Structures are given as structure tokens and as C-alpha cells.
Structure 1
Amino acid sequence: MDARLTPAFLKRNELNNLHKLRARGPTLQAHLDYQQRLADKQDPEISKNWFNAMKNVMEEIDQTFGLISFQHPLHFLDVGCCPGGFSSYILSHYPLASGTGISLPTQSGGHACLLEDSDFTRYFLIWADVTSFQLGTTWIPSPYLQPFPFPPDAAPFNLVILDGHPLRTHTSGKNVHLVGDRLIISSLVLGLFCVAPGGTIILKLSMPDRKVTAQIIYMLDMLAEDIRTWKPVNIHATRSTFYVIAKNIGGGKEAWRYEEYLKRLKELWEELMFGGDQGWGRMLESDDLNFIVTQHGMKSYVDRYNKLCKHIWEVEAASLAQWHEARRNGF
């Protein structure tokens, strides 16, 4: 599902300029596809570079928004963690932090874990496909699913990082967009269930002008006391991906909708996994997240949303302009 917000909703010079830069022929798409293939590879050198880049991204986010305290213990969850850059930054900078990571097994196409052996005194790694957990409203008898990774009485996490992306090495011919739809909804169910009251969620999203992205941001804005967006320049500059940082979950003006959101997301996960005409699952449809807010209902949110997205479009547009200029100069 790739429904976009209507032009009347997003009349922004920054976005119009970005659309023009994105539309400059097939060379850019080939470049982006090449970047994606590199990100999916299990090559040790590429994984190490990705590991270091993600450490830098987490440092940017932490220093910009002041997420983590030296004085207080931190219990964090890193979903889609490997090769481990986000977790490595937290563990190496904050001695009172301990965490759990979830990552696709290497034999299924996932990345190797590059954390130091000493990190595992404060860290537990779960090798699993996030979409294969029992994330529905009831237990589903299926050989393809595994139990929820945490017991009901497990301590919630102060910080939840949702940074997974669908690996083409794992899709085995399946529609990568289908896998991506399942992954984002699975991540949201896991994240909302596991985050502590007053905790923080860091979520990677893409395409702010996409309807589903806008609805997810709206939901987090209603649940959290404060949300910000961040567009790293070292690895995501020419791509449409960015991060949402939602602080103090449960402190938002519609935090009372938390249980409703979680229940409806679980029901949607069931549909994506086992719905469709033949019971094999389906992709997201344009109205699937209308329980959060409809596009009509977001009219009063336009100014707020554009404010959150403005710098994302500006950074991507500036980076694409530099890329096109380098191409013209033979680089």
C-alpha cells in the first residue's frame, strides 16, 4: 500500500522541490536500489561500516534530544538490532544501561552481531523474525509462529528502538512490500506492548507524504507528551527514511486511546498474516489505519504535521541536489 496524502494536504515548497529531484530519471532509482542491496548484504566489511554508521546515528539522536541519563538505570529494547550499532552506543556510553535485542537470524538472511563479548554481561540477544511472534488478540495455532518473546510479568522497557527493515535476502521471492507492511505493524505491536509508561519509542519510518506514515506519526503524537523527527545525514540523506522520537508515552492528549490502538493493531497484524482471499495474508490497504485518524480528520493536524516533516524534506532535497550535481561533474 503506497497511498499518498492529497496535494491539498501537503502544499509545501520543500516537498514540491523534493518531488522534482526524485523524478530526475532512472539513474537515481538505480543508485537507491544499489544502496538497498548493500544494506541487505552480509559482507563483513559492509556490516562493520553499517555498525559504525548506526552508532553515529544513535549518538546524534541521543545528544540532540537528551534521551538517556547517566544517573538512572536504563532498560532498553532494540528491535532489528543487528549488526548492533544502536545497542553498542548505549552500552558503551551508559554503564547503568542494560538491554535486549531482537534480530533476524543470519541463516535467514539477517546481519551478524558485532557487539563485543563484554557487552553481553548487560545484553540479551534474541534471534527471531519479528513478524513470526504471536502478536494477535488470541493465540493462533500455526507452525509458522513462535511464542511472544517476553512473559506477561516481564519488566517494561524505558526505551524501545524499532529500526527493522525488510531484507531482500530474507523475502525468498515474497513481495518485499508485503514483508515491509507486516514488519511495521509487528514492530508497532511489540513496541507499544513493551514500552514502559513514560518511556520513549524511536521508530524508523519512510515517506512522510505517505498516508500510513502520517497516521502512525499522528498516533504517536497523541500517545506521547512530545515527539520529534530526525533525519540523519550520514546514511539516510538521499533516502526517504527518517526517525520519530516519541517521549513520555502515556503523557499525550489522547493517551486514553492506547488500549484501543494496541488492540486494533493486533487485529490488523492478524489480517496481514492470515487474511486475504486464501488465508495467506495480505498487504496494507489504504483505509487500514483509519481507526487512528482519517485523512479528513487530519485536516486540523496539517500545520503540526508539516512542522514535523519540514526539515526531513529539506535534508533529503539538499542531499539529492548534491548527488545530481556530483553526477553532472562526473563523480
Structure 2
Amino acid sequence: MQRIAAELHNAADGCFTTVTKPGAILDVCAAPGGFLAAAMALNDPDLRVRACTLPFSQGGYKVLLPHENNDAIDINYCDVTMLAEDFGVKIEEIPASHPDHNKFMPRQFTIDEQYDIAICDGHVLRTQERASYREKRESIRLQNSSFVLALEHLRPGGTFIALLHKIEMWRIACLLQTMSRFSDVRVYKPKCGHAKRSSFYMIAKDVQSHSSEAKEAIKTWKNIWYVATFGTDQEVYQAIRDSGPSAEELLADFGPQLITLGRPVWLTQANALAKAPFIKKQK
């Protein structure tokens, strides 16, 4: 992960350098901690770090950062998809019949807590035991809860780094369009770790996190998290569909920009796949 971080940092004009000194970084789904290790090496020694990560006992990775006895590193061992009160849902209002009733958590972040850089590079872990209703929805729940925490606590002018998959997917195209309304969006596919896969990184700089567009995005993501947590499969589908524009609107407003963003991502993947040992060349 530190090699990937170095490649991202060089390709995006220093995306791991904070905008204030000594600076503060939030990493949602941080373990094992490669990105944070790279960021800490690139910034002021007094850099403040907050990391959220799934506990090892629940199927998460071990944190490899030397965080013990380091007051600058605050690690929250939690499932970020269960931070109900951070997403506007009071614990006492959650029905006792909900399969995860006892797993929802009270507020973990203060309202005025802000960071220069927010990192969201988590993915759904097979090692985590989950209620059956979450199986189809977990990637949606994780992405939206992570994006809410990151954007809501990002300092205006800060940097937002997120791992995404399939830039051509409708939901991802809509997300990139949304982010482009209040930030300078770039994408990059690291050659040292993601070249053959569909994954890539969104790097949004100069994020105007207090703008009306950003606040509307946070509201939308909270609603999708809520429906994916408490609603039916049909309601989840409808919430995602209603959260974005029509196909005609997106293509007219964002189509050319999406192609410009996607072309180097697709080219990197195509070149890597052409050289992959599991691709058999025809004689």
C-alpha cells in the first residue's frame, strides 16, 4: 500500500500533503495502515491522525502502524457502517426487531471535527460475519457511510482520496459527477497494484466541503445508507435510481468529462491484461 500511496502522491501533485500545518488526516477503513504510514512520512511530525477500522475480532485486518503510546494517532475500532447517530439516526429509534439492533453505535465524531485529507479505500471483507440482509447491500452501505464521514469532516479546500471500482458503472459515474460539482476531480489507476483490476482511485482536490452541493451530496448518501440499512431491496434500488440524473442528463452534462477521466484508466487495464500470464495468446 505504501508503494501505491507513493505512486498516487507523485501522479496527483502531492495528494498526501496536508493543506495546514501540522495537519490532520482521517482514514476510514485504515488497517493495515499503509496509506497512513506514507502520509505520516510526507508531513509534519506533529501530524494528527484519526483512523477507523473494523476490529480484528470481527474479521478486520491488524493495524501495523506503531500507534501504541502515540497520542497523535487516534484509532477507532468500529464498523463504520453502524455509526447510526453520525448518520442522523438515534439509537433509541431503531426498532428492536432489526437484526443488527444491538450493533448500532452512538455518535463517534464531533460536529466540528475537521481534517485536511480524508481517505476511503476500504472494501467489503469476506472475513466479517454479517446479517443476511447486508450481503447484497454491503458495498453500497460501506461506500455511502465512508463518503458521509469523509466529506462531512473534510476541511474546505482539503483532499478526498477514495478507492472505487468500474469507472463506467452507472453508480460510480454519478458519484464522480457529483464530486466534480464542488471539487477538482482526477482519477488514477496505480500500475503497481491495480493495473489488471477494475479498481482505481478518485483524487478530489480543493474540495468545497461546506458548499450547498456538498451538503446535498451528504444528505443523499445518508439517505441511501438509511434505506440500505432499514429498507427493502426494492427501496434500495429506487433510492439509488432517484439519487442521480437520467441517463440523458448525465451524458449531456458529464459524458465527455467521464470519457476523458476513464480513457487512461481503461488503457492501463487493457495493457496490463494483454500482458497477464492468465491471458492465452492465440497462435
- TM-score tier by shorter-chain length is 0.7 to 0.9
Shift of 1:157: 0.7
More helix per residue: 1 or 2?
A: 1
1:206–1:242 CA contact under 8 A, matched in 2? yes
**Alignment CA distance shift 1:172-1:260 (3 Å):** closer
**1:177-210 deviation per Cα after TM superposition (whole angstroms, max 9, x unaligned):** 4211110111111112111111111011101111
Gapped regions of structure 2 (runs ≥ 5): 95-101
Match of 2:7 in 1: 60
Q: Cα RMSD between the aligned structures?
A: 2.5
**Structure 1 CA distance for aligned equivalents of residues 91 and 234 of structure 2:** 17
Q: Which amino acid in the other structure matches residue 99 of structure 1?
A: V
- Given that 1:271 and 1:282 are in contact with CA atoms closer than 8 Å, whether structure 2 keeps it comes out as no
State the aligned residue count.
268
CA change 1:71–1:273 in 2 (3 A) is closer
CA–CA separation in structure 2 for the residues paired with 1:211 and 1:70: 32
Question: 1:44-59, aligned counterparts within 5 Å?
Answer: 54-59=1-6
1:297 correspondence with 2:257: no
Structure 1: unaligned runs, 5 residues or longer: 1-53
Check if 1:199 corresponds to 2:158: yes
With a CA cutoff of 8 Å and minimum separation of 6, indicate the structure with the bigger relative contact order. Answer: 1
Q: Could you tell me which amino acid in structure 2 is paired with residue 296 of structure 1?
A: E
Say yes or no: does 1:161 pair with 2:119: yes
What does 1:265-284 align with in structure 2 at a 5 Å threshold?
A: 265-276=221-232, 284=236
Kindly, what percent of the aligned residue pairs are identical?
26
- Per-residue CA shift, 1:230-262, capped at 9, x if unaligned? 10112211110110011111189xx43222221
Deviations 1:97-131 (A, max 9, x none): 22111110001110001112478342111101010
The answer on whether the counterparts of 1:101 and 1:126 sit within 8 Å (CA) in structure 2 is yes
Q: Structure 2 residue aligned with 1:77, among 10, 26, 35?
A: 26
Going from structure 1 to structure 2, the CA distance change for 1:213 and 1:171 (only over 3 Å counts) comes to farther
Structure 1 segment 103-182 matched on structure 2, within 5 A: 103-117=53-67, 120-134=70-84, 135-141=86-92, 142=94, 143-154=102-113, 156-172=114-130, 174=132, 176-182=135-141
Which secondary structure does the structure 2 equivalent of 1:164 belong to? coil
Secondary structure, counterpart of 2:224 in structure 1: helix
Q: Secondary structure at the match of 1:262?
A: helix
Query: Given that residues 87 and 222 in structure 2 are in contact (C-alpha distance below 8 angstroms), is that contact kept between their aligned partners in structure 1?
Result: yes
User: 1:74 Cα shift?
Assistant: 1.6
**Are the aligned partners of 1:273 and 1:282 in contact in 2 as well (CA < 8 Å)?**
no
Residues 112 and 160 of structure 1: CA distance in aligned 2, closer, same or farther (over 3 Å): same
SS of 1:288 mapped into structure 2: helix
Task: Name the aligned partner's letter for residue 265 of structure 1.
Answer: W
SS at match of 2:160: strand
Q: Is the 8 A contact 1:272 1:282 kept in 2?
A: no
